[in-house]
Structure 1
Amino acid sequence: MVGSPPFENPFRGDDVEQRVYGTVLQTREPETVASIADRSECDPKTARKYLKWFADLGIVTWHDGHPATYERNDSYFEWRRINRLAADHSVEELQERVTELTAMVADYEARYDAATPAEVDAITVAATSDERTLDDVYEDLGDWMTIETERRRYERARRQRVSAERERVSG
């Protein structure tokens, strides 16, 4: 019976490039080639080859040192996400989503009488509320931060799409 690969190594059945890429996606701190190769179950020379290529593409950031390290380039993935949103949605769809997300942010701002989640003292709010537990407040604050991040992405994608359409019309 064929099942899903274990969570510890979800890329085991993939080719080496995919395993190195998958390992990079899971990294949160700079790692050595040896560490990435070990986690990717490949030879360090092979991992180095793919990591250099990923660095050239901007997928990873290379840090010179002894030993050199690589880490996932979150900016690349953010850029890719925004480009995908701009490509997959019309200006109107993007604007509609920005409007929806803005309304959700406004609801949180009103609920917590704060402009950002960072301004909310979760412990005090939970202690003075008959309805909200500390877990409820933390969940709201996490959702609020996620919504703000998504709103920024959709707004950037909307501006990118507007700019591309203006360029196409005037070009």
Structure 2
Amino acid sequence: MANSPTDGPPPFEDAFSGDDVEQQIYGTILQTREPVTASAIADRTDCDPKTARKYLSWFVDLGIVTQHDGHPVTYERNDAYFEWRRINQLAARHSLEELQQHVRTLTTTIKSYEDEYDAATPADVDALAVVETTVDRSIDDVYSDLADWMTAREERTRYERARQQRAGTADHEQVSG
């Protein structure tokens, strides 16, 4: 059976065309990496700037978006909100034991990178120097390790915060129960 042109996901440029205006604005603000005006959001979502400002204001109230006063006012995605949300999801979806195991596993991974590169953090590693002194390592290998190491550090922080949150909830339930 042949796929029609409408099967599958929409093109990236028009990823939210089937959604209502609120979803289009939400999706657009999630894709932004720098402050943007309500008019620019309205242009991207093909809506009235007043409508864009209304939804952006609502997203500001929810903490999803940060508003920067100025002429013109600009808006950007609030990364702290999404980090908080991710931690809450981890705490809700995993048991305390699972969270502790993830922290242990990530700590082991991080320790192996620290030992391999004789450094405390990926930022302490001179990738070019490693490649020059190691025969079997390409620059891409080293950069891949450094990226994985950084990701493991970030994930361990998230899992540890979720573990602490979950442990606090468990402590509260024991006191209340």
TM-score (norm 2): 0.94
C-alpha distance in structure 2 between counterparts of 1:43 and 1:145, whole Å:
42
Matched residue SS, 1:132: coil
C-alpha distance in structure 2 between counterparts of 1:9 and 1:136, whole Å:
35
Matched, 1:32 2:40: no
Give me the identity figure in percent. 64
Given the alignment, which residue of 81, 87, 99 partners 1:82? 87
Matched residue SS, 1:115: coil
Q: Deviations over 1:138-161 (max 9, x none)?
A: 111111111110000000000000
TM-score (norm 1): 0.98
Opposite residue 136 of structure 1, the aligned amino acid is: D
Q: Deviations over 1:7-26 (max 9, x none)?
A: 12311111111110001111
Opposite residue 120 of structure 2, the aligned amino acid is: A
Matched residue SS, 2:47: coil
Q: CA RMSD in A?
A: 0.8
Shift in Å, 1:43 = 1.4
Matched residue SS, 1:65: coil
Report runs of 4+ in structure 1 exceeding 4 Å deviation.
Answer: none
Shift in Å, 1:41 = 2.0
Matched, 1:143 2:155: no
Opposite residue 90 of structure 2, the aligned amino acid is: L
Given the alignment, which residue of 84, 87, 93 partners 2:98? 93
> What is the count of residue pairs matched by the alignment?
171
Q: Deviations over 1:107-133 (max 9, x none)?
A: 111110101000000011111111111
C-alpha distance in structure 1 between counterparts of 2:173 and 2:22, whole Å:
37
C-alpha distance in structure 2 between counterparts of 1:125 and 1:59, whole Å:
41
Shift in Å, 1:137 = 0.6
C-alpha distance in structure 2 between counterparts of 1:101 and 1:45, whole Å:
47
Matched, 1:153 2:158: yes
Given the alignment, which residue of 109, 123, 142 partners 2:128? 123
Q: Any unmatched runs of 5+ in structure 1?
A: none
Indicate the residue corresponding to 1:15 in structure 2. 20
C-alpha distance in structure 2 between counterparts of 1:109 and 1:9, whole Å:
43
Opposite residue 133 of structure 2, the aligned amino acid is: T
Matched residue SS, 2:115: helix
